Amino acid sequence: MIKSYRDLDVWRLELDLAEAVYQCTSAFPKSEIFGLTAQMRRAAVSVPSNVAEGRSRSSTKEFLHFLSIALGSLAELETQFELAVRLGYTDGAVNPVMPLADAVGKKLRRLQKSLRARLAASP
């Protein structure tokens, strides 16, 4: 039974993603410390943070709202990662960020679908 956001597999995977982003961006040029590095790290931290906040709210509708925000942050991160690859800051072929982001996106969408079905079934 899920008692806390800490019990959610998706939240744990999101932490793995955030950790991978921190490791990836640590090799970025120092000139990007306040640019792309900071943006990517903020987006990566935003994903599990929004899931945690949403799960801690009092309603399924609120949780769904925060899952939507988490998906938006995930899309931001994916876009920023693609830019980092284009700029030559990382090798997208060997970096674990995008595979983790894809897995997180799938889990978030499944969770959304499940919660929407539960919401629709409730009186």
Question: Tell me: the pLDDT tens digits for 36-73?
Answer: 999 999 999 999 999 999 999 989 999 999 999 999 99
Query: Any idea what DSSP says for residue 32?
Result: G
Q: Under a CB-based contact definition with an 8 Å cutoff, are residues 118 and 60 in contact?
A: yes
Structure confidence at residue 92 (pLDDT)? 87
pLDDT, mean over the chain? 95
Q: Using 50, 70 and 90 to split pLDDT, how confident is the model at 1?
A: low
What's the confidence (pLDDT) of residue 122?
Answer: 80
Give CATH superfamily name and number for 5-121: 23S rRNA-intervening sequence (1.20.1440.60)
Q: Determine the Cα–Cα distance for residues 11 and 21; give it in Å rounded to an integer.
A: 15
pLDDT higher than 80, residue 30 = yes
pLDDT of residue 3: 83
**H or E segment to which residue 114 belongs:** helix 97-121
* Strands of the chain, DSSP E: none
